[in-house]
Each structure stands twice: as structure tokens, then as C-alpha cells.
Amino acid sequence: MHAALGDPARLRIVDLLMLGDLSPSELMTRLDMASNLLAHHLKVLETAGVVARRRSDADRRRTYLRLLPDRLDSLAPSGVRPVSRVVFVCTAASARSQLAAALWAQSSPVPAEAAGTHPAPQIAVGATAAARRHGLTLAPVTPRHLDQVVQVGDYVITVCDNAHEELGSTASPHAGTDAAPVASPALHWSVPDPIPDGTRAAFDAAYDALARRVIQLVPHLTAS
């Protein structure tokens, strides 16, 4: 693993993936790197067990790269960013974004909200049940559209491939400031949608993935 990280370009890739997921095309844009060179670096990181790929739920031709859990915990960024709120966005705002917002609320003093690009009429029963199994309470709210929720100063995190790709493939590190559109995501977490499967295992897997991401991000955001 240390040999794989012994290249400045691969270290930069790891930095970019430390708190969120990116597609190869997004990495190419961030790094201004040719596709064949990026492919080489990604192969080295994958072979070393540092990163893994997941196919997008939206565009099946697209993949997202993520750091494997616990592999690089000691290298996590130490900086803290002030934000007014964290807003988690998925398509229907009926499962993943609601679970993420509730997980965040019990772990951080920074306010959190859930929003959707195409809100469902209600929170999914499976999400409510999964939250209950893990001692988490989901408020019985009606999912809202992100245009009704997101404000300047918010830190937007997409937890759904469809929402991320709908909002724009190039995530902005300046989301919620005057330098970028309010709804531009600061981070993307490629979490599989549990609703099509509908099983207890699928909702628990989504909960676990979100809980791990929330715990990792909480130390790096503070209330502005």
C-alpha cells in the first residue's frame, strides 16, 4: 500500500476520495490528467486494495471510485470547514437522505436536512424500520424538493447516483457559496438504493454505509 501511495498523482487521487466518491471522468477533470494515465494510477491503487469501484445506479456505463473502509483512516484530512447546515440529497428523499440527516443530527451540532430532486409523498417504510432497528428515530415529515431546502452556505452531499448525475457531474468544492450554484454538491456518496430490493438487509446495508460516512465526516465540519 505504501508503494502504491509513493506517487504524487496517486496521493492526490486519495485526497480527492477521502470524504466522497468520484467517477473517473470527475477525477480526470480535477487532476487535468489524460485518461490512460489515470487508468494506470487507478489500477495500482485498486491492486493495492486502496480503492474500489461501484457501478452507478443511474447511468450503468458510469462507475464511482471510493476508498475502502479503514484502509487509510490515519491519513484522513485534519482541516475543519465552517458550514451553516449539511443537506443530504437523494432522488425521492424517502430513505437514504432521511437516514443520513438523522444520523448526522445525533452525531454533530451542525444542523442537517434531507431533500430530493423528485420527492416521494412519504418516507419509505423500510427506512423507518431500519432506523428503528438501530435506535434512530426518523421524524414523520413529508419529503421536500431541494429547491425548498437548500440555501446559500449549505454543504450539500448527494447520497444517490441519480441525484448526483442530475445535479451535474462535476461536483464543486465551493457548494453553497457565491462562487457556485447553491445546489452544486460538495460531496457524493455512492450508496445503493435499498428501495428496489426492499429487503431488511438492503436497508440495513444503506444505514451502515451512511453511518460510516457520517462518522468520518463529522470531525471536519463545524457550525459557521
pLDDT in tens, 27-51: 999 999 999 999 999 999 999 999 9
Dihedral-angle region of residue 19 (phi above 0 means left; psi in -120 to 50 means alpha; beta otherwise): alpha
pLDDT single digits (tens) 152-199 = 989 999 999 999 999 984 444 334 444 344 457 899 999 999 999 999
pLDDT at position 70 is 74
pTM of the predicted protein model: 0.84
Provide mean pLDDT across the span 125-144.
95
Place of cell 476508498: 67
Provide mean pLDDT across the span 64-79.
75
All CATH 3.40.50.2300 domain ranges in the chain, comma separated? 81-223
pLDDT single digits (tens) 82-127 = 999 999 999 999 999 999 999 999 999 999 999 999 999 999 999 9
Tell me: pLDDT of 206 over 50: yes
Q: At what angle do helices 96-105 and 125-133 cross, to 10 degrees?
A: 30
Choose among 26, 27, 29: nearest CA to 13.
27
pLDDT at position 128 is 97
Q: If pLDDT is split at 50, 70 and 90, which confidence band does 78 have?
A: low
Place of cell 431546502: 149
pLDDT at position 2 is 86
pLDDT at position 224 is 86
Domain topology for 8-70: Arc Repressor Mutant, subunit A (1.10.10)
Specify whether the CB–CB gap between 61 and 67 falls below 8 A: no
How many CB atoms lie under 10 A from the CB of residue 174? 11
The CATH number assigned to the domain with range 81-223 reads 3.40.50.2300
pLDDT at position 51 is 96
Provide mean pLDDT across the span 67-87.
79
3-state helix/strand/coil string of the chain: CCCCCCCHHHHHHHHHHCCCCECHHHHHHHHCCCHHHHHHHHHHHHHCCCEEEEECCCCCCCEEEEECCCCCHHHCCCCCEEECEEEEEECCCCCHHHHHHHHHHCCCCCCEEEEECCCCCCCCHHHHHHHHHCCCCCCCCCCCEHHHHCCCCEEEEECCHHHHHHHCCCCCCCCCCCCCCCCCCCEECCCCCCCCCCCHHHHHHHHHHHHHHHHHHHHHEEEC
pLDDT at position 176 is 41
Choose among 203, 182, 211, 220: nearest CA to 94.
203
Q: At what angle do helices 125-133 and 200-217 cross, to 10 degrees?
A: 60
